[in-house]
Every structure is written in structure tokens, then in C-alpha cells.
Amino acid sequence: MRILHTMIRVGDLDKSLAFYTDVLGMRLLRRNDYPEGKFTLAFVGYQEEADGAVLELTYNWGVDKYEIGTGYGHIALAVDDAYAACAEIKARGGKVTRDAGPMKGGTRVIAFVEDPDGYKIELIQRS
């Protein structure tokens, strides 16, 4: 078994696709509209779906906002340099909510960014 994808609901698919591709550097792997179900699925990631886990962005037509809830935590991405990644994300118009630095009580360097819907993404610097 392996993880295939993580699904999150988004309120503005174009804005979310721009964030994940232009700001975080993922690729749009596939996008399908389902007119009878009134939703669109877009899959983004750094590698092909056959090679690793990806994100499924689900846009339900006519729904422009969701409550994230208290059960959601974050998506984690490995980066070579969290400080440089934060600078690049800011330069691309992304929102950094916790600048790069050692995690509380530890030495691992982390940072947090937020997508257009408010989902948190943790950047973890490779050691």
C-alpha cells in the first residue's frame, strides 16, 4: 500500500492552482470537470502520480468558502533551504505565516505558509 493523494476543498480553483503551481512550484497533473456532479478535480504535485503522493484540489461549483475546522493540521513539504524557500514564496506573492527557524524545543528548521483558502503548509528543511 501507499498514499495516493490528499484531498482538500477549495473555494476558487484558479486561485488555488496558481498558488500550488506558481508559488509552490508544483505541476498540474490532471484536471477533470464533472458537470453532472457540479464539481472539478485538479491534481497537483512535484512528481507523477505513479511515483508519489499528490494533492487533489476539489472545487464544488458555486461554493466559494469552507470552514477548515479544528481537525485539519497541515500539509508538509521537504525543502533544501527553508529560509530561501520563504523568500521565494514571498517574492511570488505567497503568504508566509511563520518564518523559517528552528522548531520550538528542537533544532529542525521549519516554516509555515498558507494557501488562498487558509490551509497551512509546513516547510521542513532537509537535514
- Give the integer Cα–Cα distance in Å for 36 and 80: 43
Q: Tell whether 85 is covered by a domain.
A: yes
Q: What is the pLDDT of residue 127?
A: 83
122 belongs to the catalytic site = yes
pLDDT in tens, 46-62: 999 999 999 999 999 99
* CA 115 to chain CA centroid, nearest Å: 6
Whether residue 114 lies inside any domain: the answer is yes
- Alpha-carbon distance of 123 to 103, in angstroms, equals 11
Residues 80 and 48 in one domain: no
* Residue 22 lies in domain: 5-60
Q: Is residue 15 part of a domain?
A: yes
Query: Are 41 and 87 part of one and the same domain?
Result: no
CATH number of the domain bearing residue 40: 3.10.180.10
Q: Which of 30, 60, 90 is the last residue of a domain?
A: 60
Grid coordinates representing 112? 509555515
- 67: in domain: no
Catalytic residue among 36, 88, 114, 122: 122
| CA distance linking residue 55 with residue 76, whole number of Å | 11
- Same-domain check for residues 10 and 52: yes
pTM (2 d.p.): 0.87
Please report whether residue 70 resides in a domain: no
- Over residues 81-97, the pLDDT tens digits come to 999 999 999 999 999 99
Instruction: Work out how many domains the chain is built from and give that number.
Output: 2
